[in-house]
Chains A and B, each alone.
Chain A
Amino acid sequence: MNSILGINSIRFFVLLLVQVIICSNINFLGYINPYVYIIFIFLFPIRENRMILLISSFLLGMLIDMFLDSGGVNAAASVVLAYTRPILLKTSFGMLYEHQSIKFSNTEIGSLITYITFGTLIHHLVLFSLEIFNISSILLILKKTLFSSIFTIILSILIIILFSRNKK
């Protein structure tokens, strides 16, 4: 229990720092940035209370917003992702989720990719819709969502695979 708490708090702060100092300054092709902090929400232990997940993802999003001066955009997107997580888990892992026995370090890579892809798309769609906040620039929203998602998905999967292999 204690080690779970420790690992998750370390992950919280490391991802916050990485996001704010490195990932938000990449600006690939002028506007594409990965949002890797959502790995925290993806990897949050499944058996823990959902209320804690909601509150901690809200806090993480709010801190990111504070650094990036973006109002409450990241907080809103993270909370949506945290709330929809069980549905995503169910669709991508199926039976494993029913038995509450998912270990992210040794799941099939296919289901992991599905899980991360859908989660990232939901998060980024909410994020950019709120950030641009104008239904008439829907094309801009979709463009930003698509390109940033590709970047985030690749980076997230790489990070998850790299760090889970080390621990084994």
Chain B
Amino acid sequence: MQQIINFVIRNKTFLLFLFLFSVALALTIQSHSYHRSKFINSANGITGGLYSLSNSIDKYFNLQKENEILSEENKQLRETLFNLKSSANNSSIDTSYSDKIYKVFTADVYKNSYSLTNNYLTINKGKNDSIKQDFGVITSKGIIGIVDNLSGNYATVLSILSKKSRINAKLNTSNHIGSLTWDGDSPKIVQLIDVSKFAPVKVGDTIVTGGQSAIFPKGIGIGSVDSFETDISGDTYTIQVKLFNDMSSIGTVYILENRDRKEIIDLENNSDE
């Protein structure tokens, strides 16, 4: 017994090092699996407060750019609105879409990273604004990511620039689907994998969300085909997708709630059993 105590006292620095290192390692490993980084994340009062302070200063420098984006978006919305009016006058209204499936929230981005292997954004909406895990996050140009952790007033968003993220996407011209991943290299390019080799892929084609996941609606822009090649097995294409969004400069985002999400998931779970 005496010897054990002596051993502990003699090697106390090393034992402390070992202990702290394994705690850090455990947290690291935990954070590498999706939805597990529960304890250490920036969706809490202290970090959120600090980021909100630095964002309130930072915001003024981007006002001009934000305005341009907003007016551009206004223009697009107006166009669709006018087109909708003219088509509504001509045809009967489709009753199946009378209930809005998607509810939209806006939020400011407080923190944005794009140079790490798994990137997160921190936004200023949280549980108090009835945001929940797995809501989709987009901008006017295209998708950003999926809501991951939440506190009262803040949430972290798992960016599409992450090795953990896999988002269902498809070619705009046909219905061939694939999953969107990121190889961690350039923040402008993501990869669309597992696309059938029968798909008619051309450089410059648009890639949009596939709408099979109950997170994003169908047809939200992601990017355009930069280049493509068949993968090692030769059965599928790996497509390099150039993102529409400049991931290094994101000011305001929209959060999408799919009101039928629970129903869809329940249904899918039932059919699995």
Contacts and interface: CB of A to CB of B under 8 A. Distances in A.
Interface of A: 17, 20-21, 24, 27, 30-33, 50-51, 54-55, 58, 61-62, 65-73, 75-76, 79-80, 82-83, 130-133, 137, 140
Interface residues of B, number: 42
Contacts of B17: 54, 79, 82-83
Contacts of A27: 114-115, 248
A71 B30 contact: yes
Given A50-B13, A79-B17, A130-B25, A71 B40 contact: yes
B12 A133 contact: no
Given A30-B187, A69-B40, 15 more contacts: A24-B113, A30-B248, A31-B187, A54-B16, A58-B23, A66-B42, A67-B42, A67-B47, A67-B111, A72-B31, A75-B27, A76-B21, A79-B17, A130-B25, A140-B185
Given A68-B42, A80-B21, A83-B17, A133 B187 contact: no
A83 B20 CA distance: 11
| 10 nearest A-B residue pairs (beta carbon) | A71-B31, A72-B27, A76-B24, A72-B24, A69-B120, A75-B24, A31-B115, A71-B28, A83-B17, A72-B28
Contact of A30 (B14, B54, B115): B115
**Which of A32, A66, A69, A72 is the most central at the interface, judged by chain B CB atoms within 10 Å of its CB?**
A69
B83 to A, nearest CB: 39
B211 interface: no
A84 B217 CA distance: 52
Interface in B28-45: 28-32, 37, 40-42, 44
A144 to B, nearest CB: 9
Contacts of A32: 115
Given A54-B16, A79-B17, A71 B42 contact: no
14 contacts: A24-B113, A30-B114, A31-B187, A54-B17, A58-B23, A58-B24, A65-B27, A66-B42, A69-B41, A72-B25, A76-B25, A130-B25, A131-B117, A140-B184
